[in-house]
Amino acid sequence: MTLGFPTLFLFALLALPQSSEPQQAPVKVDVDLVLVSAAVTDHDGSPVTGLEKSHFQVWEDKVEQDIRYFSAEEIPVSLGVVFDISSSMGDKLSVARDAVTRFLNTGASRDEYALIEFNNRPHVTQDFTSDITEFQNRIALVSSSGSTALYDAVYLGIEKLRRAHNRRKALLLVTDGEDNHSHYTLADLKELAKESDVQLFAIGIAGFPITTATKGRKSGRAILQELVDLTGGEVFFTTDVQKLDDICSKISESLRSEYVIGYASTNTAKDGKWRRLHLKVNAISPVSIHVRSGYYAPVQ
């Protein structure tokens, strides 16, 4: 599921029609809305565009909500690229780096990007910038070594995005293996993800282990799927590194083809509890909906 923003105050500026008379100051309407960012894709994984407010229904804890705000406009994105440079990435590093570079070239001028590289531990090697050349120069210098502190890297990426400038926030994780060197646990990471408005997209590239779950331990693939479902993103696995360009294109299209739906929750309690979200799209053909699984209610 893909919902992007927890409870926020929506400040709507309602401009009056233009006329020859002096214009009055715009009316500022302060409405406490839950904003839900949703991506809708078809059976090929391509974005479904052109939908309207009437196509959507939203439930909070199984109670249907009245949609009071709807937008399909593209907004600037703050994106953190979480890039695996562990030793196992050696022969895939060049292709993965080129795919990420081409992905960045699909962005808009107001987008911004940060780079988090990780092996034994994660490092922010490029702070937020809208200068694609600067980012490309930084990622061109990467080399592979060490283990895979994947949880720590995603955790750092989410923390980094808290200081981003754009409301729309996402992480792109590029890796070829499971976590084997993190300080944070999966439970730690999931809790942070639930508290944040950051959407995770993940690419598991050639060599990503197809492991089965053992007692008390989930497979690497299952873990990535769980994380993207929690945050409303998508995960792609491929054994063919030549398909990375196509995968990056789909992620870029998904990021830029989202709908934002707002509702005033019928549950007015400010109890800080987790509230589950469910979104339905009434479309002619079957579609997939990517929506964040829920949000924490505000506290008194």
What 3-state DSSP class applies to 98? Answer: helix
Confidence of residue 3 (pLDDT cuts 50, 70, 90): very low
Instruction: Give the C-alpha separation, 277 to 293, whole Å.
Output: 6
CATH number for 135: 3.40.50.410
Do 169 and 46 have their domain in common?
A: no
Do 124 and 140 lie in a common domain? yes
Range of the structural domain that residue 272 is part of: 7-16+26-72+257-296
Which range in 58-67, 82-91, 97-106 is most confidently predicted, on average pLDDT?
A: 58-67
Task: Give the containing element (helix H, strand E) for 208.
Answer: none
pLDDT digits over 208-223, tens only? Answer: 555 555 556 788 889 9
Domain match, 203 and 82 both: yes
The pLDDT assigned to 15 comes to 34
Residues 151 and 183 in one domain: yes
The predicted structure's pLDDT at residue 261: 95
| Whether residues 11 and 129 fall in one domain | no
The torsion defined by the Cα of 64, 69, 75 and 77, in degrees rounded to 10, comes to -40
In sequence order, what are the residues at sequence separation of 6 or more whose Cβ sits closer than 8 angstroms to the Cβ of residue 190? 226, 227, 230
pLDDT digits (tens, 9 = 90+) for 269-290: 999 999 999 999 997 788 999 9
Quote the tokens at residue 5: 């923003």
* Residue 1 within any structural domain of the chain: no
Write the DSSP assignment of 113-127 as a string of letters.
Answer: EEEEEESSSEEEEEE
Task: Provide the number of structural domains found in the chain.
Answer: 2
User: Is residue 206 a part of any domain in this protein?
Assistant: yes
> Is 38 part of a structural domain of the chain?
yes
Indicate whether 21 belongs to any domain. Answer: no
